[in-house]
Structures are given as structure tokens and as C-alpha cells.
Amino acid sequence: MAIAGEVLRRNFPENVEVFDDSPSGSLELHVLAVDDSVVDRMVIERLLKISSCKVTTVESGTRALQYLGLDGEKGPVGFDGLKVNLIMTDYSMPGMTGYELLKKIKGSSVLREIPVVIMSSENVLARIDRCLEEGAEEFLLKPVKLSDVRRLKDFITRGEGKDGGETRDHKRKREDDYTSSSSPSPSPPSSSSLISSSSSSTASSASSSARLSKRAKLRKKD
């Protein structure tokens, strides 16, 4: 527990060292990362720092709600008053899951426009569908890669413009269509199989008729 506490203290925004590899004047995103695993929090924090993001990490959904000020709908205040541009949360956490946190955020009149990304080490299609339908920006499989973080940053930065909401809605639809299409639909029977089935049925009927005719002849002889 002492190690976990030390990690959390180091992760507060005022102690974050940002590796600035972005062009001068570009938007610096503030990301709230939520994960009950100390190791996973450190990994995602490192990836975000390399991508020139400000990072705040918390260990639970409840802590995230406190950080965002959702308990009284007071708006995002945080530890240092910085605006949160993106929330990345693990799906499986004790107490409050990432899905439940997502529902709380999307149900808030103040914070519903903040993009939420769900992370999970389990590739469960029903879980992915449920999160995307609830309004998640994206569903990432762990381990999260640097390319994932940079792609998210580029997308969110573009979304900060005039058409940000429309762009995010369009992306959610594409993700949902892709997820739904990953389940193969049953293919209709081919014409050859129908012909084969019909031929078998005809042959079976002819065979039965022949047997009945033979029995009738035997009865006449008797």
C-alpha cells in the first residue's frame, strides 16, 4: 500500500514532467486515467507523457467522480482546476466498473461531452458493444500502445474544433458498425445444396413407391 500511495503522489499534475514533442502552440490535453492496477496506471501515464499530455491518475471510479466534482454536479474542478479533455478508464475494477463510470459521466449535463475511452485486457464483443452504445469514444485492448495514445490525441485535438461533436458521433457509429460486422451472419444455402437435397428427397420417394408396389404384387400372388 505504501508503494501504491507513493505512485499516486508522483502522478498528480503538479509533479508531472511533460515530454513536449508537439508543435509549438498546439493544444495540450489533460487526461484523467482510471485504473485499479498500479502497474497499468504507470504504463498509461508514461505513454501519455511521451505524447505530451498532462496526466492525472486515480485508482477507482469513485475517486474519478470525486476528482470531476460529479457528486454535486459542480463541474470538473480536479486537484489543480485544469480542464479534463479525455478520460481513459479500465473496464474491470472493484467497486465501480469502467462501464458504470462511463454511464455516470454521460449522464452528467456538465461532463457528457468529455470523450471516454474504455480499456480492457479481455476482448468480449458484448462488452465492447455495450460501452460503445453507451457513448464510449473507443474501446482499447490492453496492453495499450503508444500508437493508440497518439491516435487518440490527434483525434481529440481535431475534435476540439467546431465540428468536434459531429466527428465523435460519426466515429462511434463507425466503431459500432465494425463491431457488429465482426459477427458472421449465417449464409443462405447454396443452389447446389438445394438441388442435392431435392434430388435426395425425390430418390427417397421413388424408393418408397417401389417398395409399396412390390408388396402389393406379393399380396396378389398369395
State the Cα–Cα distance between residues 57 and 115, nearest whole angstrom: 16
Q: List the Cα angle 43/49/54 in 5-degree steps.
A: 115
- Confidence band, pLDDT 50/70/90 cuts, at residue 31: very high
- Confidence band, pLDDT 50/70/90 cuts, at residue 55: very high
pLDDT at residue number 8: 38
Comparing 219 with 53, the larger pLDDT belongs to 53
Class of domain 2-181: alpha beta
Domain boundaries, the chain: 2-181
